[in-house]
A and B are shown apart, each in its own frame.
Chain A
Amino acid sequence: MSMAPIAQAPVTGRRRRSPLPYTWQRGYLLASPALLVMLAILIYPLGYSFIMSFFRWDLSGSAPFIGTGNYTDELLGRQFNQALRNQTIFSVVSITIEVVAGMAIAVLVNGKLRGMRLARTLLLVPPMIAPAVVGLNFRWLFNTQYGLVDALLRIFNLPDIPWLTHPAWALISVIVADVWQNTPLMVLLFLAGLQSLPQEPLEAATVDGATPWQRFWHIVLPLMRPVIMIALMLRIIDTFRTFDVVWLMTQGGPGGATNLLTVYSYLLAFQAVDFGHAAAVSYIALGMSLFVLGLLYGVPWLIAKRRAI
């Protein structure tokens, strides 16, 4: 084996004291510049902002330690709770629509129908567009005076909808933009999953007289479970990071009606110049997304473990 000569290389007394084999030391040494860069640009700011979330950090000169003050202020605060409510609605509704619609479209384009090749290609377009561009486009589409959507409504003698200026419609509008951009990504993921499914169980079910719905519900869906879990994980992480689309469409307005946790955190940091509270909000959001992901993976694991016992 190629490892043998290195293992037989003479080692100094100093090297012998190291708990790591010589090859590991060399590996770490060569990787150290990259690791240092990672530490500097990723771990250090993360750790620093976590520490600062326990300080009053607002550019006022001193930054006293206030324990969990920033966290309790926010958890009991009206604006944070409004942002949390918006975030929950936004994440649950958009992920549900994206996953359900994504699966339905994937099943459809997986068939050997005419034009499906073109459909699959077109599905690549929305995820390729930068979220900032999507936000700007939807801002204009939903403009009451000049927007295409209200212009179409007027053609059918329907009343104008205040898409971005009414609190409920504004939240619906940002969900629509998010669904438009991310459903195709779900379709592509599910399509890849569907195309890698074993055909034998499906053929056997067909022979046994199962309907298409029974084949989908009892065979395809259980087999697709790992892909669905990955899709859910990606979307949960993504919705907790959503910023650009909402910022460009509504800046969190009107009156905080579309303030997600990221937008609220940004406003705290760059408008209120209150980094302590902004960091606390970011870590609460991180904690929440980790908790949801934990539930997503932990609950099925526990159920499986209990069944095994």
Chain B
Amino acid sequence: MSGNLSRRKFLAASAAVTAGSLAAPWVARADAKEITALLITGGPLYPKYWEKIVQDFTAKTGIKVRYDLLEFTPLTAKVVTLSAARSSQYDVYSTHTAQIDSYFNHFAPLNSYFSDAELADFYPVAVKYLRDPKTGNLAAIPRNMDARVQYYRSDIYQEKGLKPAETWEELVDVGLKLTGNGHYGLVVPGQGDPAQRTFSDLLWQAGGDWVDQANKPAFNSEAGIKALTFYRDLIQKHKIVPPDAVGYQWNENSTEFSSGTVYATFDWPGAFATLSNPETSRVVGKWSTAPYVRDKAAISCAISHAMALNGQSGRKEAAVEFIKYTVSTDAQRLQFDQFTNFPSSQSLAKEVIAAAKGPQATWLQQLETTIANGKEWPKLAGFSKVCTLMFSAIEQALSDQASPADSLNQAAKEAEETMRRAGAYD
């Protein structure tokens, strides 16, 4: 073969490479027996879990699944980017209630793929907040529930003759008795989305809500100001929470408890497995669970990890089969066995609770009560942007830059304008 590269050969090769690159996605898409998925991971067990789910699904249906795994934050950023680009790279996405309102126009509605009887088995709170309130379209289907209960150091509490707090007042009293010598009675996160979640719980418990009947911001009501004042005082006045908590997210929050520095926290279902594992916890066998604290009401958030169908997918039928499999009883049971993730299926949750024993049974019942009474912030147009306003407002109050009333009033004013611009009142 001649070693000379002529202009003609060079151009031909370039054209072939370009044509091949452009045609590849369509060639791949043509194979309906293979779908792609962008799935959530976290911790060493998750990759094995998805491997098993995908293997079982392929064995059952003959449909292959090519998937990529990402942790929650990078996954969210990638789904945002791909949605903005109207990409069809993935047919299926892992998603979450938190930002679902941003994707109402990008995830294909799942209503027609699930019967009413099938949907009725999922926790109503999960399905409600995965629906577009304007159209009623179901943007995603819940895979497991996320709710929080109180985790406390039963050994220390017993030693000091204390009981886990049930009310806000008791939370402060118990915290004050436990704080000292480098230890703190409580830890709560104080930054970004985790801070908003914590404020949200306290807002509902104080009798308030995010919006009023007309969907206008109402979080700056008397209840809202009371909630944020209480939240700030835990850190700044009572000092029962580590001072750095103003910069904590979920990981730091959990680590403060699992390292033994802090004696109580409110954490997600995954904490049950993490705290029981000697590799990830210094307090194995020294903790127990109790219900979340209450004020006027006993309400906290009940959200869910979910699965969604990309609206740009060219293989919707096969993709929906996979989605259905990931929320099936088998998959949810495996998820519970491996990560103690609470099922989104009510019937399976009842089975799991009935089969559980000892502290796990108590914890599962506490979680179910939280979920039954749980709420989520509204899924109105522009509310994702309101969340960024709230991060700043809550952090300003927690770090004593502004009073709770001033922070919330300013945020409410800006939130109404933001939602109006986004079409929430059209």
A-side residues, CB < 8 A to B, are: 26, 29-30, 33, 56-61, 78-79, 143-145, 160, 162, 164-167, 250-251, 253-257, 259, 267-275
Can you name the residue of chain B whose Cβ is closest to the Cβ of A168?
B401
Q: In chain B between 352 and 399, which residues have their CB closer than 8 angstroms to a CB of chain A?
A: 381-382, 384-385, 387-389, 391-399
Q: Mark B282-298, 1 if CB is under 8 A from A, else 0.
A: 00000000000000000
Residues of B near A56 (CB, < 8 A) are: 421
Nearest chain B CB to A10 CB, angstrom units: 16
Inter-chain contact A165/B243, CB cutoff 8 Å: yes
Nearest chain A CB to B102 CB, angstrom units: 4
- Give the contacting residue for B388; candidates A145, A162, A267; CB below 8 A: A267
Inter-chain contact A254/B401, CB cutoff 8 Å: yes
A-B contact pairs, 10 of them (CB 8 A): A26-B7, A59-B84, A162-B243, A167-B401, A254-B246, A255-B392, A255-B393, A255-B402, A273-B80, A273-B384
Inter-chain contact A165/B246, CB cutoff 8 Å: yes
Nearest chain B CB to A15 CB, angstrom units: 13
Inter-chain contact B247/A164, CB cutoff 8 Å: yes
Given A251-B192, A273-B80; A145-B401 close (CB under 8 Å): no
Inter-chain contact B83/A59, CB cutoff 8 Å: yes
Nearest chain B CB to A62 CB, angstrom units: 9
Residues of A near B154 (CB, < 8 A) are: none
Nearest chain B CB to A96 CB, angstrom units: 26
Inter-chain contact A165/B247, CB cutoff 8 Å: yes
Given A59-B102, A255-B402; A268-B388 close (CB under 8 Å): yes
Inter-chain contact B399/A254, CB cutoff 8 Å: yes
Q: In chain B between 239 and 263, which residues have their CB closer than 8 angstroms to a CB of chain A?
A: 242-244, 246-247, 261
Given A271-B387, A272-B387; A167-B14 close (CB under 8 Å): no
- Give the contacting residue for A256; candidates B11, B14, B83, B395; CB below 8 A: B395
- Give the contacting residue for B77; candidates A29, A59, A270; CB below 8 A: A270
Q: Mark B95-128, 1 if CB is under 8 A from A, else 0.
A: 0000100110110000000000000000000000
Nearest chain A CB to B16 CB, angstrom units: 12
Inter-chain contact A256/B99, CB cutoff 8 Å: no
Can you name the residue of chain A whose Cβ is closest to the Cβ of B382?
A58
Inter-chain contact A167/B399, CB cutoff 8 Å: yes
Nearest chain A CB to B68 CB, angstrom units: 18
Inter-chain contact A273/B398, CB cutoff 8 Å: no
Inter-chain contact A257/B77, CB cutoff 8 Å: no
Nearest chain A CB to B280 CB, angstrom units: 18
Inter-chain contact A272/B384, CB cutoff 8 Å: yes
Nearest chain A CB to B420 CB, angstrom units: 12
Inter-chain contact A255/B243, CB cutoff 8 Å: no
Extra contacts besides A256-B396, A272-B384 (20): CB < 8 Å: A59-B83, A59-B84, A144-B244, A165-B244, A165-B247, A166-B399, A250-B247, A251-B247, A253-B191, A253-B246, A253-B247, A254-B191, A254-B396, A255-B392, A255-B396, A255-B402, A257-B401, A270-B77, A271-B387, A271-B388
Residues of A contacting B: mostly: loop
Residues of B near A272 (CB, < 8 A) are: 384-385, 387-388
User: Can you list the 9 inter-chain pairs with the closest CB atoms, starting with the nearest?
Assistant: A255-B396, A272-B385, A61-B105, A254-B399, A255-B395, A165-B246, A273-B102, A254-B395, A256-B392
A271 and B193 CA atoms in complex are apart in Å by 9
Given A78-B410, A253-B192, A270-B80; A59-B388 close (CB under 8 Å): no
Inter-chain contact A145/B244, CB cutoff 8 Å: yes
Residues of A near B247 (CB, < 8 A) are: 164-165, 250-251, 253-254
Q: Which of B11, B192, B385 has the most CB of A within 10 A?
A: B385
Inter-chain contact A273/B401, CB cutoff 8 Å: no
Inter-chain contact A144/B243, CB cutoff 8 Å: yes
Residues of A near B382 (CB, < 8 A) are: 58
Residues of B near A29 (CB, < 8 A) are: 7, 11
Name the interface size band of chain B.
35 or more
User: For the complex, is B34 an interface residue (Cβ under 8 Å from A)?
Assistant: no
Given A59-B105, A78-B414; A164-B244 close (CB under 8 Å): yes
Inter-chain contact B80/A269, CB cutoff 8 Å: yes
A270 and B244 CA atoms in complex are apart in Å by 25
Residues of A near B244 (CB, < 8 A) are: 143-145, 162, 164-165
User: For the complex, is B76 an interface residue (Cβ under 8 Å from A)?
Assistant: yes
Inter-chain contact A270/B422, CB cutoff 8 Å: no
Inter-chain contact B399/A273, CB cutoff 8 Å: no
Given A254-B191, A254-B399, A272-B385; A59-B243 close (CB under 8 Å): no
A259 and B83 CA atoms in complex are apart in Å by 26
- Give the contacting residue for B399; candidates A79, A144, A165, A251; CB below 8 A: A165
Q: Mark B389-426, 1 if CB is under 8 A from A, else 0.
A: 10111111111011000010010001000000111000
Inter-chain contact B395/A253, CB cutoff 8 Å: yes
Residues of A near B410 (CB, < 8 A) are: 78
A57 and B83 CA atoms in complex are apart in Å by 12
Inter-chain contact B395/A271, CB cutoff 8 Å: no
Can you name the residue of chain A whose Cβ is closest to the Cβ of B105?
A61
Nearest chain B CB to A175 CB, angstrom units: 17
A254 and B399 CA atoms in complex are apart in Å by 7
- Give the contacting residue for A59; candidates B76, B103, B389, B407; CB below 8 A: B103
Q: Mark B59-99, 1 if CB is under 8 A from A, else 0.
A: 00000000000000000110010011000000000000001
A57 and B401 CA atoms in complex are apart in Å by 32
Inter-chain contact B191/A79, CB cutoff 8 Å: no
Given A254-B396, A271-B387, A272-B384; A60-B84 close (CB under 8 Å): no
Can you name the residue of chain B whose Cβ is closest to the Cβ of A269?
B80
Can you name the residue of chain B whose Cβ is closest to the Cβ of A274?
B385
Residues of A near B407 (CB, < 8 A) are: 255
Residues of B near A256 (CB, < 8 A) are: 392, 395-396
Residues of A near B243 (CB, < 8 A) are: 144-145, 160, 162, 165
